[in-house]
Amino acid sequence: MNTEWEKFLLSINATIENDTVKNFGLSIEEEQTAYSNLVLTDLSHYALIEASGDDVIEFLQGQLTNDIKLVTESSGQLSAYCNPKGRILANFRIFKRQEHYFLRMRSDVVEATLKRLRMFVMRSKVELTDSSAELSRMGIAGINATNKLASIFKNLPANTDDSCTENDVTIIKLAGELPRYEVHGSFAEIKDLWQKLQTDAVTMGENSWNLLTIRAGIPEIVSATVEAFVPQMVNLQAINSLSFTKGCYPGQEVVARMHYLGKLKRRLFIGSVKTDTLPASGQAIMSNDESEQKAGQIVTASWSKDKGVEFLAVLQIEKAEKEELHIESNRGSAIQFIDLPYSLEKEDSN
């Protein structure tokens, strides 16, 4: 986290642990009552890899699951980085700013991802750096978010994953049940934007922002789930994170074989459960039978004012459709499923 940005957040009552804002003095319930209004949150629990150089497009095209040639100053994308077996090492949002590409991912996977990517640069004219401390980042959501931003900026991205940069501030439109934006910029510009908006806003911590991401059905790989899934298991084909025409990348043969020849047996679900303990990423979900067979595992989970805990999980499709499932064991509340906000109509061919 940028030192100046951290000082600013502390000055407005942020509780920070391991570069993550847990809250601004409000309970989870108080934070989430503000969803219908205007919400601000710090996004320092994400990190940034900056990629630049004469060969950067060719290099990234040969490493990532999506078509980097489609990324422009006004259009970003979701993508992933796999090992040769097609297992995801990291997934991220890619945007372009001032002729450089930025890969935004969860902070606990950035070091390993950067180290591995650098192994393959070799003689290419490519520079990869951890720019997490160079740019500050914040999230803006709520029914008033678009109007409030439009009163400050001349242009806003119109469609999901689009972006625009104005006055050193890059704004990205995100998927979700509410208008939602991710904003990157210099400390001075982001601080100024925060202060312009905070009078009419409620500030919230990482958990509440993650809940919006879960409800959007967007998976995020963390250190506990590295190499746990192939892309189709976390629905990357349904959220425009995969290209089947761009050419080779690590694990491409496995991913393509599943797409054209395989039958997907596991996929991403949204669920909720009444529990007093927040499930950890990677935690098992079990079948409700005497054998307590593992039916899948948690991808991410967040506290929810209405439902206890809401989560994304990769589950065996057959078990999810036919059996009662539980967190860790068959004791306690059964999980309840929530409809995904996007179509999986291509599921059978993936």
Give CA angle at 233 (182, 227), nearest 5°: 85
Phi–psi pair at 130, nearest 5 degrees: -85, 110
Cα–Cα distance for residue pair 95/19, rounded to 1 Å: 22
Q: Looking at the predicted structure, is the pLDDT value of residue 104 above 90? A: yes
Domain ranges of the chain: 1-219, 223-349
Structure tokens at 261: 């020849």
Contact 184, 136 (CB under 8 A): yes
Sign of the Cα pseudo-torsion (116, 122, 126, 131, in order): positive
Q: Looking at the predicted structure, is the pLDDT value of residue 32 above 80? A: no
Of 37-41, 61-65, 98-102, 147-151, which gets the smallest average pLDDT? 37-41
pTM of the model: 0.94
- How many CB atoms neighbour CB 343 within 10 A? 8
* Position 268 confidence tier, pLDDT thresholds 50, 70, 90: very high
Q: Looking at the predicted structure, is the pLDDT value of residue 311 above 50? A: yes
Indicate the Cα dihedral angle 334, 29, 109, 225, nearest 10°.
Answer: 0
Report the number of secondary-structure helices (H) and strands (E) in the chain: 9, 19
Average pLDDT, the chain: 92
Decide which of 350 and 44 is more confident. 44
Give the model confidence (pLDDT) of 57-70 as tens digits. 999 999 999 999 99
* Position 259 confidence tier, pLDDT thresholds 50, 70, 90: confident
Q: How far is CA 184 from CA 47, 191, 202, 282, 330, in A?
A: 11, 11, 19, 29, 44
Give CA angle at 27 (22, 30), nearest 5°: 120
Length of the chain: 350
Of 34-38, 76-80, 270-274, 276-280, which gets the smallest average pLDDT? 34-38
The answer to whether 1-219 and 223-349 have equal CATH topology is: no
Average pLDDT rounded to a whole number, residues 102-113: 98
Average pLDDT rounded to a whole number, residues 123-149: 95
Domain 223-349 is of which CATH architecture?
A: Beta Barrel (2.40)
**What's the topology of domain 1-219?**
Gyrase A; domain 2 (3.30.1360)
Amino acid 282: pLDDT: 96
DSSP-assigned letter for residue 342: S
